[in-house]
Structure 1
């Protein structure tokens, strides 16, 4: 029987893994610069967590989750997003009691959604996300957005715009909810089954419908910022003022509502017209979610965060860049005795921090030189019968093509000097 990867999953092969590692290094460096530390949560959680946290009116919960029963009949779901698991861990581990009020964490790893696979979007996909929990402040909102912008700039994306909106506080949402219901009630029979189901539970979700996106009522729907309470408007005005002070270009996009139920106040997306992604492509986004921690059993705790799909960021990375940095040394032995010695030399070099590989196939120098070129080795270490007897190695600089005899005991210092270590 011939096996293949399940639809919506891909194998990341060795020739592509270097690019993934590069992206992950960039993200970890930026996280460190913002003093954001990593948190790792399970890949699966109890299904109820996502029903409560993400919202049972969202497409993620109603249509896209991978849910199953374990051997004891408990309902388990592969995580479709990262925020709910972070919030659960925050509550379970009583992180709200830490001396510092603001907890800043990031996560990076696979997520799972049953949706139609397409370029940059798979059923098993990878996300990098940041959550900042414990402080309700427009300054934290902007800190979060600035970090997201830093990621995009680090990848060299062009024609990027920050889109922002406010969903307001609970008072604002109640007023807006009523306005939406009054607006859509006369045309409810024209809308799809999902929109009708959302009408009572969460009419805000109607605005995110793909089936009825072109309906006239969508174009004339009330805007969230017209229903903000005084405090919510002050919060949003301060966010805009801070972005102005930082000279960040942004667009107030009143159609932006985000796709998950837990958002409140500031929401944002980063939109790119870079040819690599296509016009109007959403690179990533997030927003504030002040009721989430309380919803899953913790104390009232404000939070704000964002997430990027790594597959989408991979497209953003410059395809022309050489992501394989190569190795420091490639050991080229001729004969069994030379291979034995080569194994010892490689062990010593690795113990001293060098990246090293070696020929194990017993080929001649011609074939081994081709491997050294493919591995982008800085140096080739040639070991034949004469070298073994004379207790030296011929070290070839693969860039200058110069070659020099180096005693065994001097190999480490020779490479350190040549590599500028």
Structure 2
């Protein structure tokens, strides 16, 4: 037997939950004025080296890179922003007007140690607001991130924000960090000893060396006047919108393209790996990929982590049962039962036996799948066009024409409080 590759998952019984989450995310994205973009699963390796950064853990250790038959180096996308920005530049989306507000969903790939909420093939939802340097854009994206979790019913999460400064003020901060960490180098984990020279900011969000970050210099003390004014305005707008947040100077994010505002949303339901979403501003990424200077801001959300949080908080919706199960009394009535089922399925969730079960077994299967009603098709029903319609909840039944059955089902759908409707 061939088994799935380590770090991947088959989504089977829970697929309806994924579909429910995806519908919610699409709905809230469109309400915020974002349109969907779908990019290829693999890209030129150079895209991620230039966009994500050669000194990041992703590029150094985690990318799935291969050479195709044409000798080109290709990489399965490890994150979504670089691909979206490549598409923005390639298709000259700036010519269609700014800002461009795009969202995406799909699989990403990183070679990491598989653990809860972190697989080698994982899924992300993300949104990018391209073209605005103003603090309002930062807050709009954070508001969208918070709203996506709220519409899913999650409550135990917290928005944390910080600023990583810009190319003018960040070098001074990096020097201060190096001075602080220099005597601590022998005590740091192997990864942080490498990051000390390559990407000093990453020492702040290392879980293993978190105790040292508590006393490290704070970047907010090193911001230039422009970055400070930008961050102050972000906080002012969040306060005005009554969006709760916490300033956390250790948030730096793991990708090289971030500038100024960065943020994470953490969930108490996730344990040590508590980040459920994160993002920030990346004002130079479009230019780095060959486009015109275009300030932008966005975020990504780990969908596997969303699923864990939903389960921990008891917010998993129930699977939608059939509104009606069509039962054929005997073999002669099966074609008519199938025809009715197909007609009803134009409006409602319908099931019908295709296994050749006897009538009693069909009723048992209808009960097992949680059908709300059973419609019985026998010789008498076909001749009179009056079908036995049984309520599976209270056992009551009545004979009526199909048009009246449809009216009842429509009314129940309108009055229903099911998660799906």
* Pairwise same-fold verdict (TM > 0.5): yes
Give structure 1 stretches of 5+ with no counterpart: none
1:394 aligns with 2:391: no
1:9 alignment partner in structure 2: 8
CA distance in 2, matches of 1:54, 1:420: 48
SS at match of 2:71: coil
**1:252-300 Cα deviation digits (max 9, x unpaired):** 1111111111111011111232xx3337822211111111111111111
Select 1:175's aligned residue among 172, 176, 186: 172
1:296 alignment partner in structure 2: 289
SS at match of 1:284: strand
Superposition deviation, residue 387 in structure 1:
2.5
2:348 alignment partner in structure 1: 354
**1:108-144 Cα deviation digits (max 9, x unpaired):** 1111111111112211111111111100011111111
Contact 1:334/1:363, CA 8 A, preserved across alignment: no
Report matched runs for 1:144-155 at 5 Å: 144-155=141-152
Q: Which moved more, 1:182-191 or 1:158-167?
A: 182-191
Q: Which moved more, 1:358-367 or 1:384-393?
A: 384-393
CA distance in 2, matches of 1:82, 1:161: 23
Report matched runs for 1:49-198 at 5 Å: 49-99=47-97, 101-185=98-182, 188=185, 191=188, 194-198=191-195
Q: Which moved more, 1:368-377 or 1:293-302?
A: 368-377
Give structure 2 stretches of 5+ with no counterpart: 416-421
Report matched runs for 1:372-387 at 5 Å: 372-387=366-381
1:244 aligns with 2:243: no
Give the alignment's TM-score, normalised by structure 2: 0.91
SS at match of 1:268: strand
Superposition deviation, residue 400 in structure 1:
3.3
CA distance in 2, matches of 1:219, 1:320: 34
RMSD: 2.3
CA distance in 2, matches of 1:371, 1:261: 56
Contact 2:330/2:358, CA 8 A, preserved across alignment: no
Contact 1:22/1:323, CA 8 A, preserved across alignment: no
CA distance in 1, matches of 2:214, 2:259: 22
SS at match of 2:168: helix
User: How many matched pairs?
Assistant: 413
1:324 aligns with 2:319: yes
CA distance in 2, matches of 1:234, 1:419: 52
Contact 1:161/1:270, CA 8 A, preserved across alignment: yes
Select 1:278's aligned residue among 271, 280, 292: 271
Select 1:258's aligned residue among 253, 256, 262: 253
Contact 2:267/2:309, CA 8 A, preserved across alignment: no
Summarize the Cα distance change of 1:152–1:300 in structure 2 as closer, same or farther, 3 Å threshold: same
SS at match of 2:78: coil
